Amino acid sequence: MRLALPGWTPGSYLIRDYVRQLEGLAVEQDGLALEPQRLEPSAWGVTCNPSGGLLTIRYRVLATELTVRTCHLDHEHGFLALAAVVLELEGERWSPHQLSCSLPQGWQAFVPLPRTNGVWQARDLDQLIDSPLEAGPHQPLPFTVLGVPHQLVCWAGQPGDERWLLEKHPALLDDLRRVCEACCRLMGVERPATGHYLVILHLVDEGYGGLEHDDSTVLIYGRDNLEKPNGYRRFLQLVAHEYLHQWNVRRLRPAELTPIDYHRPPVVPSLWFAEGVTSYLDQFLPLSAGLSEPDDLLSDLGEDLSRYRLTPGRAVQSLRESSREAWVKLYKADAYSADAQVSYYLKGAVVALCLDLHLRRCGGSLMQVLQQLWLSHGRWGRGYSEADLVQAFAASAPDLAATLPCWLQDLDDPDLDGYLSSVGLFLEAEMASTPWAGLTPRQESGGLTAARVVRGGPAERAGVMVGDELVALDRQRLKNPEDLQRALRAHQPQTLLIARRSQLRSLAFCSEPPQVERYRLKRVDDATDAQRIAQQRWLLQQPALVD
Ligand SMILES: [Zn+2]
């Protein structure tokens, strides 16, 4: 029999080699120890008797990593991402699996699976792996979405976690219900796709993230951030994002993830649709739930568009490549990434915006195409290809059959300004007040270091590398970022003294005039009636009006 541990968790496109945390594998049959033979780093072979007795497999898993896709166990709670725990037995992937759990006194475990006689029942290995487990002295907080029972289980590292959370946010459960109902309206469905749903929330000092599952989500969020108005809105957006994934990417799934290969990384060219479309639409959901204002949406969207415009990597990597290379680029980002790649979340959301506004010109919307794909593919479990996506868009706007593939493969941008103008909006550039050095300094205990060096910028041309200590500019000692800003002289040759591997070097440096520092999304002052009406309907995600 072959035993193998998954290498990754769906939704998080990185080979994590969970086997790193596995210890002491021992296999026994009829009281006799069998010797597992290592076949691959994450797989073993065991010679057992097919007509013999029960096979028992024992191992330990180190649970010390607190993220939404790893395991963490301490005196307050336990969280298991089951992909990191459950061995796949060859030939048994599609057989029913059962899960039971021994817990400390006073603890309860929460798993989004049906339970009979204290044992959770999964129809197959995939459903088991898709089920996170949270345990602790928790009191679940119930709420109902369109008749379907939901539960929030929170670990906040505070005495009486749930009481503490509800004292801070008395309307939380009602707000969650409203956001989830807004998701269902957006999908054009009368009920959630599942008959029960579990939200596992880990509140920590600082953190942000979520992982989607069919019948649950795991969220990590900053405790203090949740108490700020913008932080609370972003939290509702995060919930909306993961909740929308119960359709987009979980049940309405790229063909390359149907079925999922847990051991090798599948190349998925349509991750921009799974994540970009979800990231774009999640911004509308607190608004549609009556929990935020149109100006909040314009401010959030403006921040994304600004970040996108200021990412040089968009001139290097196409949207399709960004999706295909998720495994080795987005999930392995470093100090050079902004110059070499563009996130399919970010550019995917920009293209989603352009698609939405394009479709609205002919009376359609992105929401309608998503609903159509749910009806044609998602609800039947049919994986979609990139061609299926293009076809679905072209059904509403025939010119997208030629335009959309260009947006996916080209480095040129869609006409973002033109699309924004159709709803009475524009991006206003804000210039920096100091010359451009093409580097981001970071203050460390020993002084100032280069945290990022922009490709082709003044610092790179001078020979600065990430990690260099920035000692002095024109003999002025640099101790903090402000010292650097003050010492910069645009277009004038200057001498930059750096330290690299304990050696001082003198570099010829010449900064450039101030550059755009950020963009803000603004309303056009003298918008026409047509622009105003289009904007109103777009903000409320209502169908566009056409002549
Ligand atoms: Zn997502």
Q: Which sequence spans correspond to the domains of the chain?
A: 1-96, 271-430+519-539, 439-514
**Residue 301: how many other CB atoms lie within 10 Å:** 19
Beta pairing class for 503-509 and 108-110: unpaired
Distance 152 CA to ligand 1 centre (A): 19
The domain 439-514 is classified under which CATH number: 1.10.3470.10, 1.10.3720.10, 2.30.30.90, 2.30.42.10? 2.30.42.10
Distance 448 CA to ligand 1 centre (A): 35
Distance 212 CA to ligand 1 centre (A): 7
Distance 346 CA to ligand 1 centre (A): 11
Cβ atoms 320, 269 nearer than 8 A: yes
**Span 258-271, pLDDT tens digits:** 999 999 999 999 99
87: CB partners within 8 A, 6+ apart: 3, 4, 5, 57, 59
Burial class (CB in 10 A: 0-12, 13-18, 19+), 32: exposed
Q: What confidence score (pLDDT) does residue 158 get?
A: 81
Cβ atoms 8, 82 nearer than 8 A: no
User: What's the mean pLDDT when you consider all of the chain?
Assistant: 96
**Span 209-261, pLDDT tens digits:** 999 999 999 999 999 999 998 999 999 999 999 999 999 999 999 999 999 99
pLDDT over 70 (residue 301): yes
Distance 158 CA to ligand 1 centre (A): 28
Phi, psi of 367, rounded to the nearest 5 degrees: -55, -40
Distance 1 CA to ligand 1 centre (A): 36
Q: Which helix (H) or strand (E) is 126 found in, with range?
A: helix 125-129
Distance 384 CA to ligand 1 centre (A): 18
Helices (H) and strands (E) in the chain, counts: 18, 27
Distance 352 CA to ligand 1 centre (A): 14
Distance 183 CA to ligand 1 centre (A): 14
Distance 140 CA to ligand 1 centre (A): 25
Distance 494 CA to ligand 1 centre (A): 46
Q: What is the DSSP string of 453-465?
A: E-TTSHHHHHT--
**Residue in the structure block whose two tokens are 């995917």:** 348
165-184: average pLDDT: 96
Confidence band for 543, pLDDT divided at 50, 70 and 90:
confident
Distance 57 CA to ligand 1 centre (A): 35
Q: What confidence score (pLDDT) does residue 181 get?
A: 98
Give the CA count within 13 Å in the CB-facing half-sphere of 293: 5
Distance 222 CA to ligand 1 centre (A): 18
Confidence band for 157, pLDDT divided at 50, 70 and 90:
confident
Cα separation, 118 vs 115, in Å, equals 6
Distance 162 CA to ligand 1 centre (A): 26
Listed in sequence order, the DSSP H helices in 245-384 are: 271, 278-282, 285-288, 294-309, 319-324, 337-340, 346-361, 366-376
pLDDT over 80 (residue 3): yes
> Cα separations (Å) of 354 from 193, 303, 415, 494?
28, 16, 8, 43
**Residue in the structure block whose two tokens are 């796709």:** 193
State the amino acid at position 170 in one-letter form.
P
56-75: average pLDDT: 97
Cα separation, 29 vs 171, in Å, equals 54
Beta pairing class for 197-204 and 216-222: parallel
**Residue in the structure block whose two tokens are 């487990």:** 133
Distance 422 CA to ligand 1 centre (A): 28
Distance 411 CA to ligand 1 centre (A): 23
Distance 243 CA to ligand 1 centre (A): 9
Distance 279 CA to ligand 1 centre (A): 7
296-318: average pLDDT: 97
Cα separation, 335 vs 484, in Å, equals 20
Distance 43 CA to ligand 1 centre (A): 30
Cβ atoms 479, 487 nearer than 8 A: no
**Residue in the structure block whose two tokens are 């060219």:** 269
Q: Which helix (H) or strand (E) is 129 found in, with range?
A: helix 125-129
Per-residue buried b or exposed e for 481-517, using 16+ beta carbons within 10 Å of the residue's own CB: eebbeebbeeeeebebbbeeeeeeeebebbbeeeeee
Distance 416 CA to ligand 1 centre (A): 23
Q: Which CATH class is domain 271-430+519-539?
A: mainly alpha
pLDDT over 90 (residue 542): no
Tokens of 65: 């990593």
Give the CA count within 13 Å in the CB-facing half-sphere of 367: 23
Beta pairing class for 148-155 and 197-204: parallel
**Span 9-55, pLDDT tens digits:** 999 999 999 999 999 999 999 999 999 999 999 999 999 998 989 99
Question: Which strands sit side by side in the sheet containing 43-45, from one edge to the other?
Answer: 37-40, 43-45, 2-4, 88-89
Tokens of 284: 């509308």
Distance 274 CA to ligand 1 centre (A): 7
Distance 413 CA to ligand 1 centre (A): 23
**Span 430-475, pLDDT tens digits:** 999 999 999 999 998 878 999 999 999 999 999 999 999 999 999 9
Distance 542 CA to ligand 1 centre (A): 24
Q: What confidence score (pLDDT) does residue 160 get?
A: 85
Cα separation, 98 vs 124, in Å, equals 9
Tokens of 379: 């609800």
Beta pairing class for 43-45 and 108-110: unpaired
**Span 98-128, pLDDT tens digits:** 999 999 999 999 999 999 999 999 999 999 9
Distance 214 CA to ligand 1 centre (A): 13
Distance 68 CA to ligand 1 centre (A): 12
Sign, CA dihedral 161-199-88-97, equals: positive
198-215: average pLDDT: 97
Q: What confidence score (pLDDT) does residue 400 get?
A: 98
Distance 65 CA to ligand 1 centre (A): 21
Distance 343 CA to ligand 1 centre (A): 12
Distance 201 CA to ligand 1 centre (A): 16
Q: What confidence score (pLDDT) does residue 256 get?
A: 97
Distance 406 CA to ligand 1 centre (A): 24
Distance 268 CA to ligand 1 centre (A): 14
Cα separation, 342 vs 323, in Å, equals 10
Cβ atoms 274, 254 nearer than 8 A: yes
Confidence band for 547, pLDDT divided at 50, 70 and 90:
low
Distance 271 CA to ligand 1 centre (A): 10
Cα separation, 393 vs 395, in Å, equals 5
Distance 151 CA to ligand 1 centre (A): 20
**Residue 419: how many other CB atoms lie within 10 Å:** 19
Distance 245 CA to ligand 1 centre (A): 7
Distance 195 CA to ligand 1 centre (A): 21
Distance 86 CA to ligand 1 centre (A): 24
Distance 174 CA to ligand 1 centre (A): 23
Query: 1-96: which CATH topology?
Result: Immunoglobulin-like (2.60.40)
Distance 353 CA to ligand 1 centre (A): 16
Measured between its terminal Cα atoms, the distance across the chain in Å is 66
**Residue 229: how many other CB atoms lie within 10 Å:** 9
Min mean pLDDT across 153-167, 239-253, 401-415, 474-488 is at 153-167
Distance 106 CA to ligand 1 centre (A): 34
Distance 275 CA to ligand 1 centre (A): 5
